[in-house]
Structures are given as C-alpha cells and as structure tokens.
A and B are shown apart, each in its own frame.
Chain A
Amino acid sequence: MSESTSNTVVDRSTLLNIVVNALDATLAGQGDATPSEIDDSTVLFGRDGLLDSLGLVTTVVEIESKILSEFDASVVLADDRAMSQRNSPFRTVGTLTDHILSLLTES
C-alpha cells in the first residue's frame, strides 16, 4: 500500500522502517536492548509493551520529526481521536504504522 503526500509517495514499508528506527533510538537512549526481531506484532505500549509512557512520548516525537523532515508532512499522532480509540493505535508496531498511514492519507 502506498499514499501520496505533498511531494512524495509513501509506502507502508517505509513507514514501518521509521517506526522501527524510532523505537530502536528510544530504547538505545534509555539504555535498553532492542529485541533481535521487530515486526508488526511487536508490542509497543501497554501490557508486555517495550515502552513506558515516557518512552512512547519520545518515540512519537521522533516519528513525527522524521515524517516532517522526510516527507514534508506535519502529522499529529496523538490527537484526541487517537487517544480515545477503543483499540489504541500505539499498541503495536503494526497498529502504529497503520495509524500513520491513515493520517497521511487524510492529509
């Protein structure tokens, strides 16, 4: 799947890489080891998640910044709608990637 932003085409695998790299940077910054394998099902936040609330904030900031610099697109990942969803978009690497793709589609 791919979506067009103001000046480029974004495919899901590119966004997945951004999420994985941001997670990697956050864990490294916290002095935590990165799991040997990260994929869509890797749990980010909540029960058995890799991140605490501060780590999630750091990761979100990193992702938003990367999207702005790489795609010239300003997205707000933690808007009111995202925070009130029954199934949190921040639960796993896959749900967060889909959430970003959805926001870029809307914008």
Chain B
Amino acid sequence: MKAERRIVLVTGTRTGIGRHIAEHFLAKGDLVEGCSRSDADWGHADYFHHRADVGDENDVVGMLKSVHERHGRVDVLINNAGIASMNHTLLTPMETAERIIRTNLLGTFVVAREAAKMMVRQRGGRIINMSTVATPMELEGEALYAASKAGVVNLTRLMAKELGSYGITVNAVGPTPIDTDLIRGVPEEKIQAILDALPLKRLGTFEDVTNVIDFFVSPASDYITGQVIYLGGA
C-alpha cells in the first residue's frame, strides 16, 4: 500500500529559510502549505500559499481551517516566520518591540496552538519551532530578538510537556547567521564577531537547518521532544 503523503505547514515561506524548507519538503514528495504576509512569487503543483500574518489570530485560524478543509490533517508544522531587528536597547522603539514579540513569540504560539488542535484529533504530529544562536550567545544589539526567541525555547519545552500525551513532539532548531535577507543589513564585523565566538566558525547554510528538521520529523525521532539544537556549537 502506498504511504499517505505528509501534510507539511511551513510559515514564512515567501523567501529565505522558509522557502528553502518548503521546497525541501516538496522535493521529498510532501504536500506543503505555506504562508507569508504577502503573496509568494514562486509556486509548485503541490504547494498552496496562504496570505496570512502569523501575528494575527484571525489570519492563523482561517489558514488552519483552510488546511483542514483541504486535507483534514496536518502532520508537520515548521514555525519559521519571524522578524529580526538589530537595535540597542536604548534605541528600540516600543512599536518595534511589540512587532518582534507579536510575530516571533505570539505568532509561534498561535500557529502551534491551532495546528496542535488538529494534531490532537489525529493523535500525532511534529512541531518544529525556530530559535536562534542569539539566545544562548546573548548577543548585544539583539536584545528583543534574542528575548523573543528565548520565549520560543521555553514555549517549545512547555508545549512538549503539554502535548506529549497526544503523540505530538515539539522541538526547536537554532540557526547561526545564514546568508539571507534577514542579515543583509547587519554589519560584516558584527557577523564576524558572532562566527568568531562559535566553535564552528562559518555561516550556516539552508541545508544545515533542514538537516536538523529532517532529524526531528523522522519517524525514528518519536521519542525526542522538548529539545533545542543550536547550529555551529552555540
């Protein structure tokens, strides 16, 4: 009997890591649903794009309802959508602070909550959240960003406890800087300082991230939950 194709939901798929993750699962033959605040300029026969802001509860509920109507389930959630902001504490406007927390922490929470509701009914699923090495490295100039991702780490561990009895695992991956739009505005010396502080001194790649994700979603990893893997040895 042919195995049923997995339904994979990836947030923040318009560009960068999110797009790469979506294309990675598509290449494996999965059916992928993605979202971003604007339309995607790429497509695939097995990909459906939602225009949704993860920081907007109504958008998220509508997106998951749509996924349910089309597939009746979601097997894997990659909670990738996020925004970075390099700013000294003294120079961070409240509006920026709220935007970072809303997208990175509350967005991760509400997408996971709605996906988990479907996973509870199907008695299983995998949730992968995105953290960052900025959290354990406590990088100056990224206070709110690192703090929002520290929240994601705590959320990951707690959700793992609350959802474990439903057969749902919740883990996180913490990438190093990767050459994406997210770090394009970051001064080169700042990036170099981060790399110098890592045991493995190089920029990360998309493949480094999907390698960890593959590990977390592997059927053999059904006894692994509440874990955070930071790239580069952070």
Contact = CB atoms under 8 A, between A and B. Distances in A.
Partners in one complex: yes
Interface of A: 29, 54, 58, 61-62, 64-65, 68-69, 74
A64 B117 contact: yes
A54 B118 CA distance: 16
A28 to B, nearest CB: 12
A68 B121 contact: no
A65 B121 contact: yes
A65 B121 CA distance: 9
A contact face: mostly helix, strand, loop, or mixed: helix
Contacts of B120: 58, 61
B68 A61 contact: no
Interface string B157-168: 000000001100
16 contacts: A29-B123, A54-B165, A58-B120, A58-B166, A61-B117, A61-B120, A61-B121, A62-B121, A64-B117, A65-B68, A65-B117, A65-B118, A65-B121, A68-B65, A69-B68, A74-B61
Nearest to B165: A54
B181 to A, nearest CB: 34
A35 B213 CA distance: 44
Contacts of B123: 29
Contacts of A65: 68, 117-118, 121
Interface string B82-113: 00000000000000000000000000000000
Nearest to A68: B65
Between A58, A61, A62, A68, the greatest number of chain B beta carbons within 10 A of the residue's beta carbon is seen for: A61
A62 B118 CA distance: 9
Contacts of B121: 61-62, 65
Interface in B23-82: 61, 65, 68
Q: Which 3 residue pairs spanning A and B have beta carbons closest together?
A: A61-B117, A61-B120, A74-B61
Contacts of B166: 58
A41 to B, nearest CB: 27
A31 to B, nearest CB: 13
Given A54-B165, A58-B120, 7 more contacts: A29-B123, A61-B117, A61-B120, A62-B121, A65-B117, A68-B65, A69-B68
Contacts of B118: 65
A69 B64 CA distance: 12
Nearest to B61: A74
Nearest to B57: A74
Interface string B105-149: 000000000000110110100000000000000000000000000
Contacts of A54: 165
A29 to B, nearest CB: 7
Nearest to A74: B61
A27 to B, nearest CB: 15
Contacts of A74: 61
A23 B123 CA distance: 16
Contacts of A58: 120, 166
